[in-house]
Structure 1
Amino acid sequence: MRKMGIGVQLYTLRNETAADFAGTLRKVAELGYEGVEFAGYGDLSADEMKALLEETGLKAIGAHVSLDAMRNDLQGQIDYLKTIGAGYMICPWVSEEARNLEDWKNNIAFWKETAEEVTKQGLVFGYHNHDFEFHESIDGQFVFDAIYAAAPQSIKVEMDVCWVKFAGQDPIAYINKYAGNLPLLHLKDFARDENGGMITLELGQGEVNLGEVVKAASDAGVEWLIVEQDNCQNPPLASIANSLNWVKQNYLALV
């Protein structure tokens, strides 16, 4: 297998970064993570964040940027990412009221336009899925597929395999389908509660066949495996440490 970068999505540590952003990033680096994907920057300026990343040795993979921020402050978001040395701007979420056919089509057109501008300025635009992109179709294909079909050269896939599996789809088949256009992959695991809802778990504890996911990701040209756990049963820093241990034992030991 190829060597892929190992990062963490900082949404997992949202309470920790809210209390002490710099201290949390230092702890992430001490655990052995190579990079971070941002979900907000606290109150740090781009220059302050750049200095913190240089201090810790962490790579800025990219950031989850809301639709509102893209619409209202696209250039500011681009400038921040470029200052901290990040490569990716990712749209992470669509509100429930915007998950209708007309809004999906409008948003896809907006993402195509945004991706062109982001690409022009030297960054990469991507979309991060949940399960709801598999609940609706556009012209006979899932919304998930329609998003990337609209601009296959400029909208890249950040696949969350946990949500793909939860939606009843095959993560391996989807990784293979988007090989070459899938630079970022969220490495997550889950179980189902008594009502069928998702309980996010540390890696290796749930339903996702993560060993096969990692092999497929390597073959598909993924650049970064990004650990994420939406809600943790243990203190989040302990959870990401345990998940990194899974990565070391089940992937890095084999590279």
Structure 2
Amino acid sequence: MKKIKLIVLLLLCFGMAEMSFAQKEGDPLMQAPLGVQAYSFRNHWANGVESTLDIIQEMGFTELEGGAPKGVTAEEFTKLCEARGISIPSTGTSFEQLESDPQAVADRVKALGSNYVMVAWLPHNGDFTKENADRAIKAFNEGGKVLAENGIVFMYHVHGFEFQPYEKGTLFDYMMKNTDPKFVSFQMDVMWTHFGGGDPVALLKKYGKRWVSLHLKDLRKGAPKNLSGGTGPENDVILGTGELDIPGILRESNKLGIKHMFIEDESDEELENLPKSIAYLKSLTY
């Protein structure tokens, strides 16, 4: 009996030491730098690139996911961001651009100094089908290989419509199974994942290191959900006030070592909501 108690005590001590080495009680749950998706400021860029970047800086963001706004070169935009202490680790491209000329995509990504590029939407008419998924898989594997050869990580940004039932799972599972992990990674938009019927925490656990980035947003409690990949701006709410398990998502993301998380606010009150979402993230601790 004494031997059993000693073993249990040693196991408990080892577990506590392991936890202490990783995170301690009171450590922030938001381990990644504070990032924002450029789309959050879609109503502001046309009014002035520098003034919009000033807003982003004043809010405390140090990472931006996006590209140079219309009329501004990549070089000019990166200089404006650097002057404000903002890096651009990730940008986006259309599916059609990736499919037709992945090298041109790579050149644009490198011009921004980014290391990641994501596709956020796939062409489909009504319900997303296996044929749509097969086209995406081919383009992802082939385009992702070209991007990897250029030192760039390709990500598919999950938008919710991929959760159409298929065989014993979903078309999202089918895409995961048939894309090459060497060339294709994934970005979880936690709200769209939930909106399409997926469980963000369970999917983070299931697919582990395939996830390399997050979009953080929340869905209004009780908002209707479907497989369209679209909903009204009134359903995009301040982090922590909606249906998403943000603390659980952050805990699992930290276990995976995800380094980039971008708040994306698609409401019509982004200037009021973003500071509140930031404050909520900063309030979360282990």
Check whether TM > 0.5.
yes
Q: Deviations over 1:16-63 (max 9, x none)?
A: 113222321221112111201116632211111121121111110211
SS of residue in 2 equivalent to 1:96: coil
2:53 matches 1:17: no
Match for residue 224 of structure 1? Answer: 260
SS of residue in 2 equivalent to 1:89: strand
2:110 matches 1:76: no
Match for residue 89 of structure 2? Answer: 61
Match for residue 278 of structure 2? Answer: 244
TM-score (norm 2): 0.80
Match for residue 112 of structure 1? Answer: 141
Given residue 282 of structure 2, which amino acid in structure 1 is its aligned partner?
A: K
Q: 1:121 and 1:242, CA in 2 relative to 1: closer, same or farther beyond 3 A? A: same
Q: Deviations over 1:153-208 (max 9, x none)?
A: 22111001112222222211111122222110111101256655741111011000
**2: distance between equivalents of 1:196 and 1:74?**
34
Match for residue 130 of structure 1? Answer: 159
**2: distance between equivalents of 1:203 and 1:106?**
34
* Contact 1:35 1:58 survives alignment (8 Å): yes
Match for residue 17 of structure 2? Answer: none
Match for residue 18 of structure 2? Answer: none
Within-5 A mapping of 1:165-244 = 165-191=194-220, 196=225, 198=231, 199-232=235-268, 234=269, 236-244=270-278
SS of residue in 1 equivalent to 2:43: helix
* Contact 1:124 1:156 survives alignment (8 Å): yes
* Contact 1:21 1:42 survives alignment (8 Å): no
SS of residue in 1 equivalent to 2:72: coil
Given residue 198 of structure 2, which amino acid in structure 1 is its aligned partner?
A: Q
Over the matched positions of the two proteins, sequence identity in percent amounts to: 26
**1: distance between equivalents of 2:284 and 2:76?**
35
* Contact 2:33 2:261 survives alignment (8 Å): yes
Match for residue 27 of structure 1? Answer: 55
Q: CA deviation at 1:68?
A: 2.2
Q: CA deviation at 1:95?
A: 3.0
SS of residue in 2 equivalent to 1:152: coil
Given residue 179 of structure 1, which amino acid in structure 2 is its aligned partner?
A: G
**Number of residue-to-residue matches in the alignment:** 249
SS of residue in 1 equivalent to 2:83: helix
Match for residue 8 of structure 1? Answer: 36
Give unmatched runs, 5+ long, in structure 1.
none
* Contact 2:141 2:183 survives alignment (8 Å): yes
Give unmatched runs, 5+ long, in structure 2.
1-22, 24-28
2:120 matches 1:92: yes
